[in-house]
Every structure is written in C-alpha cells, then in structure tokens.
A and B are shown apart, each in its own frame.
Chain A
Amino acid sequence: MQTIGQQLINGLSLGSIYALLALGYTMVYGIIKLINFAHGDIYMLGAFWGYYAINGLHFNFILAMLSAMVFCALVGVLIEYFAYRPLRNSPRITALITAIGVSFLLENGMTYLFSANARSFPQVIRTVTYHVAGLRISNIQLLILGTACFLMLLLELIIKRTKMGKAMRAVSVDPQAAQLVGINLNHTISFTFALGSAMAGAAGVLIGLYYNSIDPLMGMTPGIKAFVAAVIGGIGSVPGASLGGFLIGLLETGVQAVGLSAYKDAVVYFVLIVILLVLPAGIFGKKTKEKV
C-alpha cells in the first residue's frame, strides 16, 4: 500500500511535467493541425534559461520561472513567425518536416553553443523531504504538482473566459469562419504558440529542479512522450492533455515499480495503440465522421 502511494506521488510529479508539455502540443495541434516537433526543445530552452537566470542573474526561483516562461513564449512566437507561418497553406507533412528541422536546429545550435555535456541545475530551493504516513514527499515534488495544477487552471481560465481564448477556440473549429467574424488569425495563432511555449518553459525550469541535470537533448524523449500524452487524451483537448500527461507519468512509474523498467516505453506505446484502437480520437477527442 505504501509503495503504491509512493509511486502515485512520483508518478503524479512526473506526469505533471508531461501534462504541461502536452498542453502546448494539444493547443498548437488544435489550432493549426501541426505536430510541433520542436516543442520539446522549447522546454529544453526553458531549462537553460532557468540555469542562466539563476546562476548568472541571481534570480530567485519564482523570477527564474516567470522569466523562462516569457523567454520561451517569445521563442515560440518567433519560430511560428519564421518557420511555420510561410507554410500555413502547404501540405501538412511539409510543415511537420519543417518542425523537425527547427527541432534539429535548436538541439544542435544549443549543443554548439553550450556543448553536449549535461550540467547540474542550480538548487535554488533546498530539497526538504517530508514523511507523511510512511510516504516520502519532497517539497520539490509538491512545488511541481502545485505549479503545474495552478498553470493548468490558469490556462483553462484563459481559454474559457478571455476574449483571446474564445478566438483560439473559434480558430480551432473553423479558421475561415473565424476570420469572417473578424478574428485576427495571425494574432490568435501567435498567442497560442506563446501560451504553449510558456507552459513548456515552466516545465523546463521545474524539471531542472527535480532532476538536477540539463542538456541540449533533454527535450527529445519527454517531447515525444508528451505528444503521446496529448494524443491519448484526445489531441486538441486541453483537459485531455492534462489527463494524458498524468496517465503517462503514472504508467511509467508504475511499470518501473513492478521491475519492468526496461519495457517502460514499450508499455507506454502499447497503451497508446490500444487506446487509439478503442477510441480512435483519444479519450476526450471528438470523433469526426466524414459526410457523404
């Protein structure tokens, strides 16, 4: 019972990182139907920004995370502007390859500038481990969970309550119709990238704190996992992305706990395939049927 509880806590902390990342995938996909392959690398950039903000600028944690979010939002908007916007009316597979190109560029550019070596993330917050009912919970884990949940709620509010959020939802349903009612397509898409990238930036700083190690290729695997999470939750659905993220986090730690860590990823992909076969559009995805 205790191990289950412990795994639950570990799974939820990891899952909240995936969830934060998955939100970016799902929003971008929802609005321009692009698998933004470079999203995982934005998260890496967030972690590096946090590293320099804390080491170089002596920011505290909150400031480091907020500035990382702003920085990543900016990068996301720039990437969209230069790499994806010219391809908005091109075949979707072209945009996907461009996104892969951007991902390569960020990974290798960062390797070139900062070397491929892993570096340890400054521990601005001293790790304190609480013992509650036989479970070990660190303050970092609580911080991650709390921040992630707070950001997700904030995002939900932005999407549901603000004018920009309404525009985002309108564009994701029908871009042409949205334009006809006076929504600025470019602004809305930029805003979506900014929001998604900010979430990734926050996730990057949090993971730096949690794992204490960052490197230029750190975004690759979590990026793909987070995308899988978004697909499981139903791509385009914000609550789905959060759910998918937590699900994958729990699944991974669960598989590890029963001693099958070598098959950790295989189990994740297997579950992905099974879920897609039962629910072809994910858990919260809407099944669209072609009209004949």
Chain B
Amino acid sequence: MKANFKYNLAWLGVMVLGFVIIDACEFLGIINTFIENMLVTMGINIILATGLNLIIGFSGQFSLGHAGFMAIGAYATGIITQNIATPLGFYLSMGVGIIIAMIAALIVGIPTLRLRGDYLAIATMGAAEIIRILINNFKITNGAAGLFNIPPLVTWVTVYVLMCLTTIITVNFIHSRNGRAIMSVREDEIAAEAMGINTTRWKLAAFVFGAGTAAIGGSLHAAYIQTIAPGDFNIMASIAILIIVVLGGVGSITGTFVAAMVLGALDTILQNFGTLRMIIYALALILIMIFKPAGLLGNWEFSFKRLSRRLRKESAIHE
C-alpha cells in the first residue's frame, strides 16, 4: 500500500510537470493559438482513443462506431450550453452527454456484442451512422447545418485536467478485478465463461465505459471548437480514432498517448504542405504499419513500478 502510494505520487508528479511545462510555454509565448489548438486536439484524441483502446485492445471487441458516441457528447454540450452558458452548464451538459451515450451504448451493445470480429465492427459502424443520420435530421440539433456559436467554456486547462482524469479512471478500471475479467474475454471467451465470467456483461461494461469517455471527448470538442456538424462524426471520424489506437499499439495506453501526439504533431507540421499533406499522411500510415505491424509500442506499457524494480536490480548488480 505504501509502495502504491509512491507510484501514484510519481504519476501525479508527471501530470503536474506536464501542466507546468505547458503553462510556462504559454506564459513565455512559445505556444501560440495554433500550437494550443494542436495540443487541445491531441488531448481530446487521447481521451477518445483511450476509451476505444479499452474496447478494442482490452475487451477484444472491434468497434468502429466511436464517433457516434462522441457526437452524442458534443451535441449535448452544444445544445445545453447555448441555453446555460456557464461552466456549471458545461459540466452539466457533459454529464448529460455521458449518460445518453452510455444508454445508447447499452441499446447498441446488448444486441450487437454477440457478433464477432468484423461483423461487430460493421454493425457498430452502422449504429454510429444511424446516430449521425438522426442528428442530421432532428430539429433540436439544427440538422445538417449543425450548431454554431457554442459558448467557449473550455480552455486547454480543462482539456488537460479531463484528459488526466479519464486516463486515470480508465487505467484504474483496467488494473482491477473488472479489467482482468474484461481481458479474459479478449483472451478466450469460452474459457472465461467456464470460469464464471459472464462475457456478455463484461463486454458490455467495456463498451459502455468507452462510450462514456467518447462523450467526454465530444463535449470538449464542441465547447473548444464552438461549431459542430453531423459530418464531423462520420465513419471517417471513427476511423481516425481507430488509427490512433492501432498505430500506438492495440492494448497499450502508453502507445495511445504516443500515437495521438505523433499524429497530432505530424498533422501540424504537414499544414505547410498544402494539398500534399494528406498524401504524406497516408504514406506515413502505410509505412508505419508495414514496418511496425504491432503499432509503435506493441502492447508495452510504461510503469513506474517496473522502472523502479529495474533500477534497483541494476544498482544491486553494480554493488
């Protein structure tokens, strides 16, 4: 317990350090609006991809519908904060978004999660498209035009703090009895059932949890960018999140962080290349996959516990 406290403290240190560095750069003027935009996008992508990694990498269920749940969060925030333009309104809207997204995930997940592999992927993709088409046709969501002038209730600080929070919550969830049950479903469904694991329930738990975090990402996106339209949440948006997960390494949260940052930086650098940008991006994607088929980090995970153990071992050898 004491040791755990030490590692938790180390992580807290990392988070504070990250905050201080960004804040200092902001203060010194190194970060302009352009770079801040990039950092915020990275943060939101990390939130989205971490949730999807829980579904794909840890429960082993191939979902291609993440953008649908993100849309729910985004529209909840867009609609509610236009009426209650206060920070409280924002958090209220985020809560509402999370709850609706989770309910939607239950409705989608209960029937479809018994499908396997690519069939599940295509069914979840269809479900997300249905969500998007409904938004596209509702009056309250302002149809295909989308919502404008959403109050700017989110700064990079909000995104940073929420990114840390959702990551902590997700990682804690994974490293618990719940997470282990979820991973057993990925490893071998039949064996998991035989060990008393209700696989349907745990798959659903991961799916609903992931949908909740997607809604958080959506809320932040809406409040930071201030305009949303149904087209922002199409199949390509789901695929963009999937790319982060696979590029980082399926089943590695560290990898998700690295991939989101690498892709975010790549995107920013490529802004100067104009139309060539997407061609370079596509080539980079293909080449990374060919040379690093398991993603940048495979399923490797950074851990202070392991680091300190290794350091201790090394110092023991030196003595």
Q: Which residues of A approach B to under 8 Å, CB–CB?
A: 29, 33, 35, 83, 86-87, 90-91, 93-98, 100-102, 104-105, 107-109, 111-112, 224, 227-228, 231, 235, 262-263, 265-266, 268-270, 272-273, 276-277, 280-281, 290, 292
Contact B282 A101 (CB under 8 A): yes
Contact of B285 (CB < 8 Å), options: A101, A107, A268: A101
Name the CB-closest residue of A to B276. Answer: A112
Name the CB-closest residue of B to A272. Answer: B126
**A277-B293 contact in complex given A97-B285, A231-B119, C-beta closer than 8 Å:** no
- Report the bound CA distance from A109 to B112 in whole Å: 36
Contact B278 A98 (CB under 8 A): no
Contact B278 A87 (CB under 8 A): no
- Report the bound CA distance from A226 to B119 in whole Å: 14
Contact of A109 (CB < 8 Å), options: B56, B127, B242, B279: B279
Chain B, 241-256, CB within 8 A of any chain A CB:
242-243, 246-247, 250
Name the CB-closest residue of A to B112. Answer: A273
**A91-B250 contact in complex given A224-B235, A265-B129, C-beta closer than 8 Å:** yes
Q: Which residues of B approach A to under 8 Å, CB–CB?
A: 56, 62, 111-112, 114-116, 118-119, 121-123, 125-127, 129-130, 133-134, 136-137, 190, 235, 239, 242-243, 246-247, 250, 275-276, 278-279, 281-283, 285-286, 289-290, 293-295
Contact B133 A105 (CB under 8 A): no
Contact A281 B119 (CB under 8 A): yes
Contact B289 A94 (CB under 8 A): yes
B85 to chain A, nearest CB (A): 31
Number of A-B contacts (CB under 8 A): 118
Contact of B137 (CB < 8 Å), options: A87, A98, A262: A262
Contact B282 A97 (CB under 8 A): no
Contact B285 A269 (CB under 8 A): no
Contact of A87 (CB < 8 Å), options: B114, B250, B293: B293
Contact B111 A277 (CB under 8 A): yes
Contact B290 A98 (CB under 8 A): yes
Given A94-B293, A111-B278, A228-B122, 12 more A-B residue pairs with CB atoms under 8 Å apart are A87-B293, A100-B243, A101-B285, A105-B283, A108-B275, A231-B118, A231-B122, A265-B129, A266-B134, A269-B126, A276-B115, A280-B114
- Report the bound CA distance from A114 to B161 in whole Å: 44
B274 to chain A, nearest CB (A): 9
A233 to chain B, nearest CB (A): 13
Residues of A within 8 A of B289 (CB): 87, 90, 94-95, 97-98, 101
Contact B122 A97 (CB under 8 A): no
Name the CB-closest residue of B to A83. Answer: B286
- Report the bound CA distance from A86 to B250 in whole Å: 19
**A108-B126 contact in complex given A90-B293, A101-B289, A262-B133, C-beta closer than 8 Å:** no
Contact B130 A266 (CB under 8 A): yes
Contact B62 A101 (CB under 8 A): no
Contact A93 B282 (CB under 8 A): no
Name the CB-closest residue of A to B240. Answer: A100
